[in-house]
Structure formats: C-alpha cells, structure tokens
Chains A and B, each alone.
Chain A
Amino acid sequence: MTEHTGTKARSRAVRERAIKSIWLATALISAAAVVFILGYLIYTALPAFAEVGISGFLLNTDWNPTGSTPSYGIAALIIDTLLVTLGALIFAVPLGLAAAVYLSYLAPPKIRDTVKPIIELLAGIPSVVYGFFGMVVLCNFLRVALDIPSGFCWLAASVILGIMALPTIVSVSEDALFAVPKDYQEASLGLGATYWHTISRVLLPAAASGISAAVVLGMGRAIGETMAVMMVAGNAAIIPDPIWNVLSPVRTLTATLGIEMAEVATGSMHYYALFGVAVVLLLITLIVNLASAWVIKRMQTGQKTTPHISNKTKRYLKLAAVAAAAVIFFCFLTASLGILWAIGISAAVVAWYFGRKKISHKVAEKSSFVLIYACTAGVILILAVILWDIFSNGLPVISWEFLTESPKDLGRAGGIYPAIVGTLQLVAGAIIIALPVGIGAAIYLIEYARENFLTKALRTGNDLLNGTPSIVFGLFGFAFFVIYLNWGICMLAGQICLALMILPTIVRTTEEALKAVPNAQREASLGLGATKWQTIRKVVLPSAAPGILTGAILSVGRAAGETAPIMFTAVVFTKRFVSLNVFDPVMALPFHLFVLSTSVPGATAQQYGTAVVLIVIVMAIYLAAIALRRHYQNKLLR
C-alpha cells in the first residue's frame, strides 16, 4: 500500500517536472528567437559597420546611400523615430487612459460591452488603410487647417500612430483597471473620498503595472509601424528645425527600411547599412523597454529607494523638470497651433494649477468626468470617421462575385476569394504556433519561475520581440526561411513570421491575466492536495481565460492586417488555385490591398472593397472571441 502510493507520488512528481520543463522550453523560445534574429541582423550589418565605423554610422546626420558620395549616417533617423513615437504617446496615452477609465468605472455595463469591442476593432484596420486614410484625409486637413505647403509631417505621423496605438492602450489598460479588486473601491469610498479621488488616487495606481504594460504595448506598436508612417511622415531624412517643429517632414528608421529594403541591390553597402538600421532599431527598443521596466519598478517600490537626494534638492529637481517640460510643451504648441493658442492654453493650465485648491471636490470631480467623457467621445468619433470613410466607399463594391471569384485585370475586375482564404490560412497558422508557446511561456514566468536572472532575461527577450518592428520579421523571414532554408516564398514562412510577431502580445497579456488571479485561490487548491499543474489547469487558467482571450483577439486582429512580415515571405499578388500545402505561396488581403493601392492605377473602389472585407473578417473573428470571453466571464460571476 505504501509502496503503491510511493510510486504514484513519484510518477506524479515526474509528471509535474516534465510539465514544468515543457513550459520552460516554451518560455525559452521567445528569448532564443530574439538572440537568433539579433545575431543574424548584426552579422549581416557587419560590413556596413566596418566600412562606416560605428560612431560614423550613429552620429552622422547625413543619410544618403545613393548620393554622389554615399553617406550612411542615421542620427537624423534615430532622432525622428524618437520624436514621432513621443508625439504618438502624447496623443494616445491620455485619450486611451481616459477611455479606459470611462469604460471600466463610469460606463453602464451595456455601453461597456458594446464600446469595448468596437474600440478593439480599431486594431483590426490594416495599417495600409490607416496610411491611406492619413494621406487622403488627415494630411489634407492639416495642410488646409494650418495653412502649410504640405501636410505630410511629424504631426500627421504622430496622430496616425497614436490612433493605431489607441485600441491596444484602451483595451489592455481597461482589463487592468477592471481587475483591481472591488474592495479597494469600496474601502476608499467608505473613507469618504469622492469617486474621482478613488479613481485617480486608488484605482489607477493599483492598476499601474497593467497600464504600463498597455503603454509599452502601444509604444511597441508605434515604434514598429512601417506602412502607415511612411505614407504620412513625408520621409525627408532631416532633423526638424527647430527641433520642436512638428510640421517638419521626418523619416523614421522603420520607414527607411520599408521604402528602401525592397529595391536595394542585395550585397551592396546600402543593403548592409539597412541591416545596420534594423540592428539600431532593435537596440532602441531594448533601451526603451529596459528604461520603462526600471521606471515601473521604481513606481511600484515607491520613495523608499531614493535615499541619496535630500528633500530640498528633490524639490528643486522637480521644479526644474516641470519648468523644462513646460517650456518644451509651449514650444510645441507654438509650432503647431500658433502663438495665440499657445498662450491661451498655457494661461488656462496655469489658472487651473493655482486655482485647483479653491475648486470644490464636487466641481473637480464633475470637470474630470466631463474631460473623460470628451476623450472617450473623441476616440469613438475618430473610429467612426475612419470606418465611415472605408465602408461608404467600399460597400458598393461588395457582391457575391467579388467574394467568390479570383481577381482579374489586376484586381480591377473579379474578386478576392483566394485572398480571403489565404488570410485565414496565415492567421490560423500563426495562432496555432503562437498560442501554445505564448501561454506556456506566461505560465512558466508567473506560476513556476522565481524572479532571477533567467526570468529577467526571458522577459527582456519577450519585450524586445514585442518592440521588434514587423518589417524586421519580414526581412529576417525572407533571408532565413525563403533564402537560407530555401523554402521559397511560402505560407509556412509567413505563418512563422506572424507567429513571432504576435507571440509577445500573447505572453504579456496572459501574464497580466494570470497575475490578476488572486493567490488565495491557488493556496486553497494546493491546500486541498491538488498538484501545481492541477491547480493551474483547473483553477488558475479558467479564471485567467478572459484576459488570455483578449490577448489572442488583439493578436489575431493584428496578424490579419499586417503587410510587412508577409510581403517578402509568403504572399503573391494573385494565385489561381487555393492550396493547403504550407510550402505553397498564398494570396492575402493586406498585401492585395497594398498592391492595389500602390501599384495598380484605377483600383480605388476595389481597394476599399478589399479593406471592407478585411475589416469584416477581423470583426467576425473578434465577435466570436468576444462571445467566448463573455461566456467565461458569466461563468465566473456565477
């Protein structure tokens, strides 16, 4: 009897260990992928570094690879990338956070359940559509409204990138806010705090780690975006003069890769220099992620860790920082809106700052809520304008023939059936590869690993993979799968590239979902004699399912709309027959849209029609997943 239970316990222990090592292996994949991709990029960029010298490459502001005397300095590109990303965050974070607060605390449940999926839908609009919307509507609007020669500028790029980052920021921070235990809210209100105080002083700080995850994800989207930014930024490789001139054309690192990689001669110095650009892009992502991780850690541990600076110096430093920020902000305002508006807005801010103590809590609360409502309305308005533009132009094109036939006359006639099937195949493959790996990695990181060097490296690897611009996956996939492994352009190469691209989102959101499961549940389960794996499978995962699904939904939406990773690896413009063979190339809706809009004159209607179908497909995927999520949530509440 004892021997029997002994064997049973042993085999159980072996099984537990085996399961743990499986999750460790999945966690290692993302880190390994980063090391491999980075190594490959550096290896390919070496000739350029050797020729130009690292300092010349990084510090020279002159990027002119095909000039009479070629020069390969990327300083201007780096600065422009940072400026555009900064602008996008200034635009998107307040709007997104306000919308998230509205959805999780102020909106009636019915509105929340309708508005949240609609905002998530924004993520499904392919970047090439954002790009053309930006080009045709936004840049034109800016040009007329601000009376400038050209609307293609830093401001336009930041606004478009901000809009693209919004759904990620809203959705993920809403999840984080919603997951804050209700006790906090009740306790704060019970102590007599106003509702606004409770939100701003208790609930927002409590959700800080989730919100910062949302911001980092959104920033990853902004840094990594290629197609849209290169359509609206103007792409002149110059540093804005003066540096706060938001109306200057700028050119980001991704845009440089996106517009030059395709045509460059393989093996030329220009080609190697572009891989150098990709390396720098990855390093910037690494630095940004490490910095944000450091800031988040500081935020969570509070003031305890700052013993070296006296309070007085700190106050001076704070004052200086605020003053500097105010000056920079004023310059931005002056550059974009003119001196009168800048003075007006500054006066309003100053008046608010000195008058805020005199404002009663009630008025403060009211005005904050009004601001939040306005921001949410703004987000929805933006969405509505974009969707209206696409649907009003695209719906007339949709017909049964359009959906079921192969394209003819370069897509100007006939339909898009093979592209629909191809998109589904690519996305299905990507999610089949990425979901188990991503969930496994998150389970390992949250449930098994103690915080040590390994987990730190794994997290960094994952963050770096998240920041990796999608175009880099495309380049890597082309060089490695298509050329080195000699697969040729095929479905599998695209599926792996897309899987690598969405993996970090899945890991990150799964981690947040697992973190949100109260420890008491785990302890109770373990206390009842369940093994670790039983606890995870029966207790933790079901509770975390809605959060995990949100991550998967966002990923599917992103994968379906991406052009850059599949452009060189998986797609052809047209195909005659649909195939299930993963070593065959496929058609895909985003690439079809890209070619229609950039290389086929006179296909505007079909372009909008394709965009509508793409959005409807994404919507269908979202709705299915949202229904599933709601199903789980209802089960939990019961």
Chain B
Amino acid sequence: MRSFKSSHKSGLAALLAAAVLVLVVLTAGCVSTPAEDDVSGTISLAGSTTVLPVAQAVAEVYMNNHQSADIQISGGGSGVGVTAITAGTADIGMLSRDLKDSEKTGNDFKEYVIGRDGIAIIANPANTVSELTLSQVKDIYQGKITNWKEVGGADMLIVLVGRDSASGTREFFTEFVLNKEDAAKTMQELNSNGAVQKSVAQTPGAIGYVSLEYVDNTVKAFTIDGVKPSVATVIDGTYKINRPLLMITKGEATGLAKSYLDFILSSAGQKILSENGFVPIA
C-alpha cells in the first residue's frame, strides 16, 4: 500500500512537471519585439473564405512594411463577416456578395469594393466539350440537358456540382446564369471553391463553378459564348460572369483599419490581388 501511494504521488508529480514544461514552451514563443512605427496595433478581419486568401496575402505584405502592426484574419463566411461587424468583434468584414437590404437596415456600414472575382464554369480535363453558351449552362444546371452528348460531347451523364445554398458564389450564379430560377434538385452541393474543384477534377462527367483562381491544370474552364474566362477578359468586360468582392467597416474606417484598406486599394495592393487570381478594380 505504501509503495503504491508513493508511486501514485510520483505519477502526479510527473504530470505536473509535464504541465509546467508545456507552459514554459508556450511562453517561450510569447516574446516579441514590437518596433516603433507610424501605424501600430491589432485589427481583426472576419468573413468570406473567398476573400480570406487575398486579404491574408495583402496583410502579409502590409505587416512586413509595418513591423508593429498585427492583422488577424479569420474565415467563417460572408454572413459571419456581417455579424462580426455588427457586434463589433471584428474591425473589417469580408464579403463575396453584396450586402442584403435586411443587413443594411439599422447598421451604418461603409462598403469598400476591393476587387472583382470571375466565376469560371469548369469540367474534367477528359471532357471533350470545351465551349458552351450561357443558355446551355442554364439548361444543364436545370436538368434539361442531362447528357454530354446533347452538347456535342461523349455519351456520358452530366454530374451537377454546385455550391451550398447560402454561398455568395451560388447566389451570384443563380442570379446571373439561371435568371433566379432553381437548379435541379440532384445538384451536389459543396461548401468551398476548393471542394468543387477537387470534385470536378476526379469526376469525368462533372460540371462545376468556381472562382477564377481555382482554374488550374486539374480542371478545364469552358469558353462561354466564345469568351475564355481570365483576369484580362473580366477587365475588358467581355467575360460577363463576375462579381464584386467587398470589405465593410462600422462607419468610416480609422487607424490601422483605414491604413490597411488604403493599402489594398493602392496599386501595390491591387497588384497582389491580381497575382492571386482576382480581378483588380479599375
């Protein structure tokens, strides 16, 4: 009994020691050397996961130029972006859709359009079809065309892949491509551009829609009404399927938030935007 008790104690002591060790390790990383700078402090961004990567990319460059600024970016989605600004838990909200009227009422939001995002209609590289018209895309998504042979391809069933019903991308797609009509009920719904891209990349019969930046060699983008989707065709206005990316603040932005927004809208910031596959404004 005696030896048992002491070993019990030693076990506890070992646990405590481990806990202390963990704490020490954690504190070790805490040491930071804030340098004096014109703009300093911490701001947080929350919202659309479509905007997140580019906001992050810009923030990294910004923070390299302003050593004591700390910009923290979390996702969640466009809805979370609005909620966080309303509640004051974030300084800047990110949206991949326009503000809804219900969200505008009672809130004093200041909107900044930071760029545009082209939506590419994608298919598996093995698909022999490479050109579609907008009305063909509409018929496919409404289940009126169900086989690729109807649009000049191989005899293969079309697998519809789309985004979830709360997605800003889908909302835009429904409005612009489907004229606000419903898509077929058999459409598979995924919650991110990356998921749609991966799904289409490995399903020979699939069709999907994603942000321009997600068009890589694993999928191919359809030429729509004779126009190939690219940053250039969105800028010159020939590729019509594109939408704005927003940042919002509560009232006019101040301090670090203003400085960061100014940087995104500057030519240096817009260059980072286009390097990440988004479409700069103006």
Residues on A with beta carbons closer than 8 Å to the beta carbon of B189: 235-237, 251, 259
Interface set, chain A 360-404, CB cutoff 8 A to B: none
- Whether B186 and A263, one on each chain, are in contact in the complex, defined by CB atoms closer than 8 angstroms, is no
A80 to chain B, nearest CB (A): 12
Q: B26 is contacted by which of A68, A231, A259, A424 (Cβ under 8 Å)?
A: A424
- Whether B199 and A265, one on each chain, are in contact in the complex, defined by CB atoms closer than 8 angstroms, is no
Residues on B with beta carbons closer than 8 Å to the beta carbon of A251: 189
B102 to chain A, nearest CB (A): 6
Residues on A with beta carbons closer than 8 Å to the beta carbon of B73: 572-574
Known: A66-B166, A408-B60. A599 touches B192 (CB 8 A): yes
Is B11 engaged at the interface, CB distance under 8 Å to the other chain? yes
Q: Interface 1/0s, chain A 219-255, versus B by CB < 8 A?
A: 0000000000011001111100000000001010000
B19 to chain A, nearest CB (A): 8
- Whether B165 and A595, one on each chain, are in contact in the complex, defined by CB atoms closer than 8 angstroms, is no
Residues on B with beta carbons closer than 8 Å to the beta carbon of A115: none
Q: Interface 1/0s, chain B 40-63, versus A by CB < 8 A?
A: 000010101110110011011001
Size bracket of the A interface: 35 or more
- Whether A410 and B76, one on each chain, are in contact in the complex, defined by CB atoms closer than 8 angstroms, is no
A245 to chain B, nearest CB (A): 12
Bound complex: CA A409 to CA B54 (Å): 10
Q: Interface 1/0s, chain B 1-32, versus A by CB < 8 A?
A: 00011011001001100110010011101101
Residues on B with beta carbons closer than 8 Å to the beta carbon of A68: 180-182
Interface set, chain B 137-179, CB cutoff 8 A to A: 156-157, 159, 164-168, 170-171, 174
Residues on B with beta carbons closer than 8 Å to the beta carbon of A478: 80
Bound complex: CA A586 to CA B171 (Å): 32
Is B188 engaged at the interface, CB distance under 8 Å to the other chain? yes
Is B266 engaged at the interface, CB distance under 8 Å to the other chain? no
Residues on B with beta carbons closer than 8 Å to the beta carbon of A56: none
Residues on A with beta carbons closer than 8 Å to the beta carbon of B50: 599
B171 to chain A, nearest CB (A): 7
Q: Interface 1/0s, chain A 575-614, versus B by CB < 8 A?
A: 1111110000100000100010111111000000000000
CB-CB nearest in chain B for A481: B89
Residues on B with beta carbons closer than 8 Å to the beta carbon of A553: none
Is B270 engaged at the interface, CB distance under 8 Å to the other chain? no
CB-CB nearest in chain B for A149: B157
Is B252 engaged at the interface, CB distance under 8 Å to the other chain? no
Partner-binding segment picked from A133-141, A275-283, A437-445: A133-141
- Whether A231 and B195, one on each chain, are in contact in the complex, defined by CB atoms closer than 8 angstroms, is yes
- Whether A577 and B32, one on each chain, are in contact in the complex, defined by CB atoms closer than 8 angstroms, is yes
Residues on A with beta carbons closer than 8 Å to the beta carbon of B191: 230, 258-260, 262, 598
- Whether A64 and B79, one on each chain, are in contact in the complex, defined by CB atoms closer than 8 angstroms, is no
- Whether A585 and B44, one on each chain, are in contact in the complex, defined by CB atoms closer than 8 angstroms, is yes
Partner-binding segment picked from A21-29, A118-126, A482-490: A482-490
- Whether A152 and B188, one on each chain, are in contact in the complex, defined by CB atoms closer than 8 angstroms, is yes
Bound complex: CA A276 to CA B178 (Å): 29
- Whether A151 and B203, one on each chain, are in contact in the complex, defined by CB atoms closer than 8 angstroms, is yes
CB-CB nearest in chain A for B88: A486
Bound complex: CA A151 to CA B201 (Å): 13
Residues on A with beta carbons closer than 8 Å to the beta carbon of B46: 489
Residues on B with beta carbons closer than 8 Å to the beta carbon of A635: 4, 7
Q: A135 is contacted by which of B48, B56, B102, B195 (Cβ under 8 Å)?
A: B195
CB-CB nearest in chain B for A599: B49
Is B214 engaged at the interface, CB distance under 8 Å to the other chain? yes
Known: A488-B90, A598-B193. A64 touches B22 (CB 8 A): no
Partner-binding segment picked from A182-190, A266-274, A284-292, A324-332: A266-274
- Whether B86 and A567, one on each chain, are in contact in the complex, defined by CB atoms closer than 8 angstroms, is no
Is A571 engaged at the interface, CB distance under 8 Å to the other chain? yes
Inter-chain CB contacts under 8 Å: number: 231
Q: B30 is contacted by which of A143, A234, A259, A579 (Cβ under 8 Å)?
A: A579
Bound complex: CA A278 to CA B211 (Å): 30
Bound complex: CA A424 to CA B28 (Å): 14
- Whether A571 and B74, one on each chain, are in contact in the complex, defined by CB atoms closer than 8 angstroms, is yes
Is B281 engaged at the interface, CB distance under 8 Å to the other chain? no
Q: A599 is contacted by which of B32, B52, B80, B190 (Cβ under 8 Å)?
A: B52
- Whether A150 and B70, one on each chain, are in contact in the complex, defined by CB atoms closer than 8 angstroms, is no
- Whether A66 and B79, one on each chain, are in contact in the complex, defined by CB atoms closer than 8 angstroms, is no
Is A624 engaged at the interface, CB distance under 8 Å to the other chain? yes
- Whether A575 and B72, one on each chain, are in contact in the complex, defined by CB atoms closer than 8 angstroms, is yes
Residues on B with beta carbons closer than 8 Å to the beta carbon of A261: 77, 79, 166
Known: A135-B198, A136-B198, A236-B188. A486 touches B89 (CB 8 A): yes
Residues on A with beta carbons closer than 8 Å to the beta carbon of B32: 576-577
Residues on A with beta carbons closer than 8 Å to the beta carbon of B253: none
Q: A64 is contacted by which of B4, B63, B182, B202 (Cβ under 8 Å)?
A: B182
Is B103 engaged at the interface, CB distance under 8 Å to the other chain? yes
- Whether A140 and B83, one on each chain, are in contact in the complex, defined by CB atoms closer than 8 angstroms, is no
- Whether A489 and B203, one on each chain, are in contact in the complex, defined by CB atoms closer than 8 angstroms, is no
Residues on A with beta carbons closer than 8 Å to the beta carbon of B72: 572, 574-575, 585
CB-CB nearest in chain B for A586: B72
- Can you pick out 26 interface pairs between chain A and chain B where the beta carbons lie within 8 Å of each other? A65-B166, A66-B170, A68-B182, A136-B198, A149-B156, A149-B157, A149-B205, A150-B205, A152-B188, A236-B188, A238-B185, A262-B166, A482-B84, A489-B44, A572-B72, A574-B59, A575-B70, A585-B74, A598-B49, A598-B191, A599-B52, A599-B75, A599-B192, A601-B216, A624-B18, A628-B14
With A260-B166, A576-B70 already in contact, 16 other A-B pairs whose C-beta atoms are closer than 8 Å? A65-B165, A143-B202, A149-B156, A150-B159, A231-B195, A235-B188, A236-B187, A236-B188, A261-B77, A263-B79, A265-B166, A408-B60, A580-B30, A591-B75, A599-B49, A601-B194
3 closest Cβ contacts across the A-B interface? Answer: A262-B77, A259-B191, A578-B29
